[in-house]
Chain A
Amino acid sequence: MLKCQHLVEKADALVDGSPISRRERFALRLHLLMCQHCRRYVRQLRALLGFLPREEKPLDDARTEAILKKLDASRDHQSG
């Protein structure tokens, strides 16, 4: 049977949808059915990815303007 350590090394594909062979996926699933420590590992790995500090705020208008101004300046510089 698949070892726990091997499952932990391969479990990334289960949480992020990276391609793995059907055979490998089956072996991982089978191990998870029988091993509660590894089930906990995979569940908490998923939770961990949800806790990562994400930066999704849009830029405020003033700073957006400032960046666009520098674009104009660089274009004028290039053509002139």
Chain B
Amino acid sequence: MADIQLEDPHFIAKLRQGDPAAFGQLVKGHHNMLLATARTMLSPADAEEAVQDAWIAAHRAIAKFEGRSLLRTWLTRIVINQAKMMLRKRGREIQFDPTNDPDALAHRFHGDGHWQHPPQHWELSSPENLLTREELRRCMEKHLHFMPDSQRLVLELRDLQGLPADDVCNMLEISASNVRVLLHRARARLFEMVDHFQETGEC
């Protein structure tokens, strides 16, 4: 819903003309999503500050938004840049080298590339499993927290925000193949986690 409105040319025209009500709608509808992105890189308090600064930067620049990218991409790029500045201030940066972390599913295969430990059958969709699903969600959040920053960030941008792969490459300044590998590693970790949860009932 919010997206249809966000990319609507009339809405964008209003934003560019400096319509305060339109900017208010933009903040209301998208702040939490942008905050979720910033939180993949920063502490909660720093993430709040980075997104606040991003709104200030976006407000100054919106008149010059030319619609060459999605508005969502444009906003996310501003947030990523603010978050990177914040990281630099803290003397940190995100390492995007995907070879740092092994593939979480690699040990499940024989040397010949066939399954040695195939996936369990997951029973998560039935309504009586609501409690299990709540536990699973908590477990997932824990694993997301301990995931390498680069994987969490790419997962957030691609699978949660649904941004196009090309846009993600550009805003993170990494190659398409690195985005692909990081996303695969992130998903493989979570797949492994859910499979373990399904088998043992433990996180």
Contact = CB atoms under 8 A, between A and B. Distances in A.
Given A41-B119, A49-B159, A51-B136, A3 B32 contact: no
B89 to A, nearest CB: 19
A70 B52 CA distance: 8
Contact of B55 (A37, A55, A71): A71
A57 B32 contact: yes
A8 interface: yes
Interface string A1-38: 00111101100100010100000000000000000011
Contact of A52 (B56, B119, B122, B160): B160
Nearest to A8: B105
A30 B26 CA distance: 45
B190 interface: yes
Contacts of A18: 165, 180
A44 B122 contact: yes
A42 to B, nearest CB: 10
Interface residues of A, number: 36
B159 A16 contact: yes
Interface string A38-72: 10110011011101111111110101100110110
Contacts of A74: 56
A58 B31 CA distance: 7
A52 B113 CA distance: 29
A68 B141 contact: no
Interface string B11-47: 0000000001001100111011101100000000000
Contacts of B55: 67, 70-71
A49 to B, nearest CB: 5
Given A70-B56, A71-B55, A37 B32 contact: no
B191 interface: yes
Given A3-B113, A59-B27, A67 B184 contact: no
B72 interface: no
B59 interface: yes
A56 to B, nearest CB: 7
A38 B155 CA distance: 22
Nearest to A75: B59
Contact of B32 (A6, A8, A16, A56): A56
4 shortest interchain CB distances as A-B pairs: A3-B113, A37-B118, A55-B36, A5-B113
Given A51-B140, A56-B32, A59-B28, 16 more contacts: A5-B106, A8-B105, A16-B158, A37-B115, A47-B124, A56-B33, A58-B2, A58-B29, A64-B24, A67-B52, A68-B23, A68-B24, A70-B52, A70-B55, A71-B23, A74-B56
